[in-house]
Amino acid sequence: MLEITSLKKVYEDGTLAVDDLNLRVEAGETFVLLGANGAGKTSTIMLILGFTEPTSGTVTVKGVDVQKDPLAAKKLIAYVSENVTLYGNFTAKQNMEFFAKLSGRKDVTDDEYRAVFKRVGMADNAYQRRVSGFSKGMRQRLGIAIAILKNAELIVLDEPTSGLDPKGGFEFLEIIGGLRAENKAVFMSSHDIFRAKAIADRVGIMRSGRLLEVLDRQVLETRDLQQVYLESMAQIAAGATSANIDD
């Protein structure tokens, strides 16, 4: 489904944000990219979406190159950003309608809107309310609803749980579980080791643009993810020190 090959991003100011990334995510698989601030998670997501141009390497979704054929690629991908962009003067329903139509879905019935709204844990009485009064968590849920409505095969989320309270975070796990059951591929970034472990089929640990480790379900069930994460960070820190001395 998603295939990332030898992907590298060096920004104009010389910052190396993504360094030789190779990764595949299959349909029905949830992949969580863990990493500290500045690790390169958002940069990776921008490259997957085709929003920024790689320095080298490729990203394809179902064989479609996101740089060469951006319009075809965009149809296959739904994106939920950290700060979901919504129209404050529109109601929740109107926002869903607007974005569903924008993504080419003109056939959505009121029942389907309501069902998706419910699926992301939104209360009925918020359906016809203006979004300007919504909390961050509500906006995030609505963003996920919009992504579900697009019915894309790959769903990309940048720190989707950052604004959610514990109950919201738990419900989010269920929503992602539902997407997996529909055979969607999910690629998300997170700082949250606990939720990553609960939700992911595989977890990647990124630091300084490099994917240090990829842990599958079996490893996640047998090893302490926090420990593995901290060890990866420590090893790389030690490596970086010796590299600096060699310089």
Q: Pick between residue 18 and residue 199 the one whose CB is nearest to ligand ATP.
A: 18
Single residue of 6, 22, 26, 38 touching ligand ATP by CB under 6 A: 38
Q: Is 17 in the site for ligand ATP (CB under 6 A)?
A: yes
Q: Provide the pairing of β-strand 16-25 with 30-35.
A: unpaired
Q: Which of 216, 169, 176, 217 is nearest to 191 (CA)?
A: 169
Single residue of 4, 30, 43, 49 touching ligand ATP by CB under 6 A: 43
Q: Determine contact, residues 7/22, Cβ cutoff 8 Å.
A: yes
Q: Pick between residue 37 and residue 244 the one whose CB is nearest to ligand ATP.
A: 37
Q: Determine contact, residues 17/40, Cβ cutoff 8 Å.
A: yes
Q: Is 83 in the site for ligand ATP (CB under 6 A)?
A: no
Segment interacting with ligand ATP, rule: CB under 6 A, options 37-45, 58-66, 194-202, 222-230: 37-45
Q: Pick between residue 9 and residue 41 the one whose CB is nearest to Mg ion.
A: 41
3-state SS of 154-208 is EEEEECCCCCCCHHHHHHHHHHHHHHHHCCCEEEEEECCHHHHHHHCCEEEEEEC
Half-sphere exposure of 2 (CA within 13 A, CB side): 31
Alpha carbon of residue 81 to chain centroid = 8
| Residues in 20-79 that interact with Mg ion by CB under 5 A | 41-42
Residue 15, binding choice from ligand ATP, Mg ion, none, Cβ under 5 to 8 Å by partner class: ligand ATP
Residue 140, binding choice from ligand ATP, Mg ion, none, Cβ under 5 to 8 Å by partner class: none
Q: Pick between residue 35 and residue 137 the one whose CB is nearest to Mg ion.
A: 35
Residues with Cβ within 8 Å of 237's Cβ and at least 6 positions away in sequence, in order, are none
Q: Provide the pairing of β-strand 185-190 with 154-158.
A: parallel
Q: Determine contact, residues 37/193, Cβ cutoff 8 Å.
A: no
Residue 239, binding choice from ligand ATP, Mg ion, none, Cβ under 5 to 8 Å by partner class: none
Q: Is 161 in the site for Mg ion (CB under 5 A)?
A: no
Q: Is 53 in the site for ligand ATP (CB under 6 A)?
A: no
d(C-alpha 140, C-alpha 161), whole Å: 8
Q: Pick between residue 41 and residue 197 the one whose CB is nearest to Mg ion.
A: 41
Q: Which residues are at the interface with Mg ion (CB under 5 A)?
A: 41-42
Chain positions contacting ligand ATP, by CB under 6 A? 11, 13, 15, 17, 35, 37-43
